[in-house]
Structure 1
């Protein structure tokens, strides 16, 4: 029976609210009161049933929750025939619960999405030397595996032959692909965009970096699911105190009606609705501005943040590499060299090539012939009858392209500034050196300064990119600390260390690799154009991925948190005032007390509604 009632809690709430509306309509427009008592009685009964079941369950585990107090107060209201109080209190209690739960409904889709992204099959070398497709469960440490273009790397391992470009965004969060050749490490769940190689399995199953991401997300989400709500903590003291007061009053005065009145006036109607209404109003305001706040616990945690940790790519940066700097040979016409460069790069899908094409969309393009792709190096082609070598520094060395001391120094300087380098030689003479890097989001520096003014003491960057790039970004943005070359588990572990030091940590990211950190932090914030996993795992989502929304989000969280506190003070203050007046004066009675009681509920609702009009500048 208890399960049945709780399973139909939503329906009972609808019945409760509908009958309240019917009673109101009857009082003013229909039979002028004939239906009112019956409607209110049924509404009160429908509303109190799920609350009473929850009260009974809490008492079974020796917890006197607010459900217990509400149940007793409603029964007391029935006893003194105050049916409207019973109906209204139960409706507000249930409606507030559903409104809050609607925003707190975190599903397990994040884990499901991660699991679906994990590789299921692999090409394994058998005893005859042939590669056959097997289940990923059949792969063991030491096996030789084959990965072709477009395929997922099935396990963590080391490349033993072949080469290619691997998209490691699922692990490092970096949008640029990584060149892999013999001796390079590769990770499960990454994608080989171009090339073919064989690898030796070193870590399989749950031991892979991708497997650890899934495990970390599960653990972090489980630890958060047991967080106590503020109202439950308060009820540990409030509920027993009101019950004890009613019992003492009844024993001393021998007046049962007075004791019931204590319970009715002490019923925390405004208290139980104050937090959920503030919460819903704050969430509603955020939703209008593209900010998804997932519940009151999120709002409370984020409002107290003192340390904010950022991913780099797609968070502090726009996630789209661009040509940052060009060093040209004065002996070669730069415009013709760039046209030659774009002509070749236009035939490649490599992210760095696409960055070049996007930077120079309107240059003249020449016909390209005799194209030769050098895996892990670049491209050798013929343009207008001239040999062109385009790629990394190693490709230049392999083709005897000489770089002078000045050119080497300038390329090293570009690399230290966090650029990926592209070299181009025409007729065995160096023509261009390009520094390509991701660009910082507009206004990110000023936004970080605003965060400091709001009380965020520590601004930290954790990234899978090289330390040189990370240091350059951190110096530019004046961050407190910056760490590069970090795997997902390293980021999550670092956040845990910060939390052990007593810091309230918010992590801001957008990739699959960010999901452990998003789940581990006190508050996880995901950019809306990030992966589904990051969005599902996070506590706050900036739906339009606008970094400028971060400061208004913190302001809204603080305003909502303050509003919740105001409502608690109003609710408790009114109850204390009513009970004090009831016990130590003669002017108050049930009617007046109920009027003030209902007025306090209206006040906290109106106070909360102010959040709907809170302007996010």
Structure 2
């Protein structure tokens, strides 16, 4: 709406008082208790906020907005001594504005409730002594004591005790998780039962809870593109309507007709309710553990016709395991190859490197330090171990390094990771990664709602890519990709006219997520870097969140279109026709405006209760 919705409680009350005072002036004037001159003071009191907002919009945005239309309409009523018409029209207009304020406040309330859950003070343990400290005085390393019914104030690790934690404030999942020593906990989550000693790792604005709500606040300030469009239309349509109203007056000399047209004719009402829809949608998504980082992503996701998925960690669980080791060069034993591979991979944090290290750990195989270590992103690692050149990576990496003794075929159902010693192939680690729960169901749902293309991208070999994509139900895949190749594919799709959503994790897919029309990252609660590059963030590492985000986006945009139809049909077509037919006068026009606002706001608020399961 035209008025600011960033209202403090006293200002909110002041708007209500304004309506009551204007209504009282109208009643006592109608009962002939006060004169028109005194009535003008009541009108001036009610008009002040509208005039102020209208002038600001005219000066700062060069836009003739709804407040100016209403102000001119009321002033004309008074100038023509239609005092009762003026005061009643003003009252309806102020009530309509107030309804829009209530709607935005109600839509934002669930966000504010989450922001207010952190305690102001907590109990910490220091050198065996317990003391109560302000939450703003907490530091990383402090031991925070928590008991049943309290909210976790920090991100940290449990160092004592155990309990049931409800993480709904972050993930949207209200099911309690039993956590004991060594488990991670997050600020904003709730202790349903038990007692915990938590070593703080992140406090204050560094916690995931604070970062989420900082991003939500930023998202609220970003307009939907459709709102920008209606605002641009209003800039030039406003003066045009004023000219048309002037022509009507010259032709008819009917001031009541002019007043009615001014009340119903404001072009700014095309965007009525868009702000309420945006905030309601962001709020509803947050309750599901989904963060839209701006209205532009909320709108764009509804238009996406092509989905691109990264395989590792997105369609699969992202925790690969070595299933077996094939020895190619008989000079090396299995233990020797595992030892050399683990040494070379010890400086790498890639999931496959971790899988090889776990494979060595399961067999209690110790490994020496490596030197001259370096990583070729998306290919493999190289290092010197025991004065030998060790290469570990995919087939492309081996080809780049001119490795000899290469096998023609590998197991098609698993990822083959080759190890070469002194540039001769010595063995192959076969690595498998389980398909994530819900992956095939999500692909089917995407097909059911008319998504034209679903593509899987992977750095794996074509055989493995084909096997995994068939299991999930994806008909199109690209294999042997580097991170830069994924960006190129997204650009290629966009150049062909596709609106692309990329689903992945920000650690390995940051560039692709950023270049897609909508980047969707999953599992932000486990990997906070996932909040940085994407436009839509799923706090849980569950693929169901992708479809929930689409559902919220589509229903939000449908609601905006419904609201626009109400405004255009009820206000600009039916209302104006009735005015021109002289069936509706100024007071009735104000009532129609109030009805339209009420319908739009109720329609927008219902998003808070929509089912997205």
TM-score strictly above 0.5: yes
Residue 502 (structure 1) shift: 1.8
Q: State the partner residue of 1:355.
A: 355
In 1: Cα distance, 2:365 partner to 2:487 partner: 49
Query: What's 1:305 paired with?
Result: 304
Q: Supply the distance in 1 between the matched residues of 2:449 and 2:492 (Cα, whole angstroms).
A: 23
Equivalent-residue separation in structure 2 for 1:32 and 1:253 (angstroms): 31
1:583 to 574, 580, 591: 580
Which of 480, 486, 490 lines up with 1:495 in the alignment?
Answer: 490
Do the aligned partners of 1:20 and 1:40 also contact (CA within 8 Å) in 2?
A: no
Taking a change above 3 Å as real, the CA distance of residues 574 and 341 of structure 1, as seen in their structure-2 partners, is: same
CA distance in 1, matches of 2:487, 2:42: 55
Equivalent position of 2:91 in the other structure: 84
In structure 2, relative to structure 1, the CA distance for the partners of 1:98 and 1:281 (3 Å cut) is: closer
Structure 2 CA distance, aligned partners of 1:609 and 1:226?
17
C-alpha distance in 2 between matches for 1:528 and 1:353 = 20
Asked if 1:414 is matched to 2:411, the reply is yes
Q: Quote the offset at 1:606 in angstroms.
A: 1.1
Q: Is the 8 A contact 2:257 2:580 kept in 1?
A: no
SS in structure 2 at match of 1:318 = coil
TM-aligned CA distance change 1:349 to 1:97, over 3 Å: same
Deviation larger for 294-303 or 573-582 = 294-303
Q: Which residue of 1 aligns with 2:175?
A: none
Shift of 1:257: 3.6
1-structure distance, mates of 2:610, 2:65: 35
Query: Are the counterparts in 2 of residues 100 and 296 from structure 1 also a CA contact under 8 Å?
Result: no
Q: Does the CA contact (< 8 Å) of 1:444 and 1:547 recur in 2?
A: yes
Which stretches in structure 1 are left out of the alignment for 5+ residues?
Answer: 1-5, 60-64, 103-223, 381-389, 395-404, 425-429
Give the aligned CA root-mean-square deviation in angstroms: 5.0
| Equivalent position of 2:58 in the other structure | 55
Report how far residue 614 of structure 1 moved.
Answer: 0.9
Residues 501 and 391 (structure 1 numbering): CA distance in 2 closer, same or farther, change over 3 Å? closer
The residue aligned with 1:608 is 604
Q: Does structure 2 conserve the Cα–Cα contact (< 8 Å) formed by 1:19 and 1:40?
A: no
Tell me what 1:558 maps to: 554
Q: Which residue of 2 aligns with 1:548?
A: 544
Aligned in 2, Cα 1:268/1:464: closer, same or farther, shift over 3 Å? Answer: same
Unaligned runs of 5+ in 2: 29-33, 78-85, 110-221, 374-381, 395-404
The answer (yes or no) to whether the contact 1:415–1:468 under 8 Å persists in 2 is yes
Give the 5 Å matches for 1:218-233.
229-232=228-231
Whether 1:251 and 2:246 are equivalent positions in the alignment is no
Quote how far apart the aligned CAs of 1:522 are.
2.2
8 Å contact kept, 1:47–1:90 = no
- How many Å separate the matches in 2 of 1:310 and 1:254? 65
- Per-residue deviation, residues 545-578 of structure 1 (Å, max 9, x unmatched): 3211111211221111111111111111111212
Contact 2:393 2:417 in 1 (8 A): no
> Are the aligned partners of 2:278 and 2:556 in contact in 1 as well (CA < 8 Å)?
yes
**What CA distance in whole angstroms lies between the structure 2 residues aligned with 1:467 and 1:54?**
58
1:595 is matched with which residue? 591
- The 2-side partners of 1:547 and 1:19 are apart by 46
Equivalent residue, structure 1, for 2:446: 451
- The structural deviation recorded for 1:245 is 3.6
Of 460, 477, 481, the match for 2:455: 460
Counterparts in 2 of 1:27-38, with a 5 A limit? none
> In the aligned structure 1, how far is the partner of 2:393 from the partner of 2:578?
85
Rounded to whole Å, the distance in 1 between the matches of 2:249 and 2:365 is 98
Q: How far apart, in 2, do the equivalents of 1:437 and 1:523 lie?
A: 29
Equivalent in the alignment of 1:515 = 510
Q: How far off is 1:601 after superposition?
A: 0.9
C-alpha distance in 2, partners of 1:46/1:393?
68
- Structure 2 partner of 1:196: none
- Residue 452 of structure 1 and its aligned partner are, at CA, apart by 1.2
Cα deviation digits, residues 417-442 of structure 1 (max 9, x gap): 42325799xxxxx9x96412443322
How many residue pairs are counted as aligned between the two chains? 449
- CA deviation profile, 1:472-516 (whole Å, cap 9, x unmatched): 433443434333454544433432332222211112222255334
Change (3 A) 1:236 1:325: farther
Task: Give the whole-Å Cα distance in 2 for the aligned partners of 1:419 and 1:573.
Answer: 62
Alignment pair present for 1:440 and 2:435: yes
Match of 1:573 among 569, 580, 590: 569
Are 2:68 and 1:71 equivalent residues in the alignment? yes
The verdict on how the C-alpha distance between 1:225 and 1:511 changes in structure 2, with shifts beyond 3 A counting, is same
Structural mapping, 1:159-558, within 5 Å = 229-232=228-231, 234-235=233-234, 239=238, 242-267=241-266, 271-325=270-324, 352=352, 354-355=354-355, 371=368, 376=382, 412-414=409-411, 417-421=414-418, 434-464=429-459, 467=462, 469-512=464-507, 514-529=509-524, 535-558=531-554
Normalized against structure 1, the TM-score is what?
Answer: 0.59
CA contact (8 A) 1:44 1:90 kept: no
Indicate conservation of the 8 Å contact 1:16/1:91, yes or no.
no
Is the 8 Å Cα contact of residues 341 and 392 (structure 2) preserved in structure 1? no
Q: Would the aligned equivalents of 1:525 and 1:539 in 2 still touch at CA under 8 Å?
A: yes
